[in-house]
Structures are given as structure tokens and as C-alpha cells.
Structure 1
Amino acid sequence: MGRGENVLKKTYLQKTLAFIDSETELLHLKIRYPEQFCQPSKQTFKSDLYIIPKSKGLGIIGMAEIVVGLFLSGEVKDKSGKAVSLTLLAQTFEHAFNFSFGSIYDKQDALFRRKPFNLTRTLDFLKSLIHRKDNTINNR
């Protein structure tokens, strides 16, 4: 056996012993301070709300219109106060309303390919519902 092989074996054994020592120290710390090592259980949120994917007034493209509009406003922030990404905003809506965009970027492209008079179809639909309700309240 050459000298080089012994050096490699010694180095390997030293690293192995150092690893075992660090794992042993970690176990001692876990025993001594167990509360520091408790991981919160991840509870998955399951919404009771649903969007009908091909609904005339508010389908997936309609939801994309809302999500893209909110994203472009830059007014939806994360915990640190930074504007959220389009992907995060889309995922939040997907979880809240139990549907999937597939790719939000594909839906955004489909939205921008609409004819100019249809670009805000869903927002116009929602606006008309609010106006209609407002008129019925004011006419009482």
C-alpha cells in the first residue's frame, strides 16, 4: 500500500469521525433543548370556495384577468412589503377558489390577445353587477 492511499484513508476517517461528533452534539442539543427543534405541523388549507372553470362571467380567464390586474397594480404585497410575483398571486387564487390556471403566463398571454373591447370583460361584468345592485338599492 502506498503512502497516498493511507493519507486518503486517514482523511476519510477523520471526516467521518468529525461528522459523527457533530451528529452526536446535535442529538445532545435536541435532548437538552427539545423545544428549539420542534417543527410546526403544516396544516394544508382547503377552501370551501369554487370557481366554475368555463363560467361565462367568471371562468379561469376571468380569474386571470383579476389576478393580472392586481399584479399590474403592484398593490398586493408580501410579508416584507414587496410586490408579489404573478405566480404567487395566481397560486393564492388557485388555493382560495379550488381551480388551476395551468400556466398563469399562458392565461396572461390569452388575456392580452383579446380584442381591445373584450380586454376587461370580467371586470366590466363585475362592474355592471355592482351598478345594477346600486341602482336597485337607490330606487327603493
Structure 2
Amino acid sequence: MEHPKYFIKIETDWKSPLFLNPDFVNYTDIMENICGFYYLHCVNGGDGRNVPFSLLVSGFEHLFNFKFSDQYKKRDEVIKRKVNKRTGFLDRMGTAINEKAKEEGYW
């Protein structure tokens, strides 16, 4: 096994105080972010190497106190979307940032 340490279950008493707001975001939206981080190689492990997809997903699940029923199926839902709908949540995030920049006079 190439990366056995990633399959070791580490128990921790720490619980994130962060939760997703279902009125504004869903699991597919979060998976868009995870895919973006993963495919751009934005997150490294302690060894400086890119983390496996499953570890990145686990980190998001732990941070936001939720669990994907099937992370690979959810990833495929994002990847298989129509081109103009593939990054809907990321597009909404960009729009929100641009609107805030306009409000603050940075446009």
C-alpha cells in the first residue's frame, strides 16, 4: 500500500464550530470547491506532496461537520454537469466578491 497512513483513523475530541448553511450551499456546491482545490493541487500534506482526493474530502467533512454519502459519486455529479452549469457555485462566489468590491468602491 503506497499511502497507508491516510487510512489510519485518528480519533480526536476537537469538533469544528463550523456548519454549512443549507439555505445557501449544498454538498454539490462544496464538492465544486473540493474539486477545484484538488485539480489545481492547492493542498499539500505534511510531506509537501499533494494530498489524495479522499483526504481532502475528509478534511472538508470534518471542518464543516457533514459527511458525503459517496464522495466519488458526488465528484462525478460535478464533473458530468453541462459545461455552463459545471461551476455554478464558484460562479456565484465570484459574483458575490465582485459585488462586495463594488460596494467598497474597488471596482
TM-score in terms of structure 2 length: 0.83
Aligned partner of 2:63 in structure 1 is 96
Aligned partner of 1:132 in structure 2 is 99
Deviations for 1:69-95, whole angstroms, at most 9, x for unmatched residues?
100011210000110011000000000
Matched, 1:44 2:13: yes
* Identical columns (%): 29
Separation in 2 of the partners of 1:107 and 1:95? 17
Aligned-CA RMSD value: 1.5
- SS for the counterpart of 2:49 is coil
Q: Quick check: which one's helix share is greater?
A: 1
Give the count of matched residue pairs. Answer: 96
Segments of 5+ residues of structure 1 without an aligned counterpart are: 1-41
Matched, 1:64 2:47: no
Segments of 5+ residues of structure 2 without an aligned counterpart are: 1-10
Separation in 2 of the partners of 1:69 and 1:118? 15
Query: 4+ residue stretches of structure 1 with deviation over 4 A?
Result: none
Deviations for 1:99-121, whole angstroms, at most 9, x for unmatched residues?
11122111111111211101110
Mapping 1:72-111, distance limit 5 Å: 72-111=39-78
| Higher RCO (C-alpha under 8 Å, 6+ residues apart) | 2
Deviations for 1:19-54, whole angstroms, at most 9, x for unmatched residues?
xxxxxxxxxxxxxxxxxxxxxxx642201111145x
- SS for the counterpart of 1:77 is coil
- SS for the counterpart of 1:44 is coil
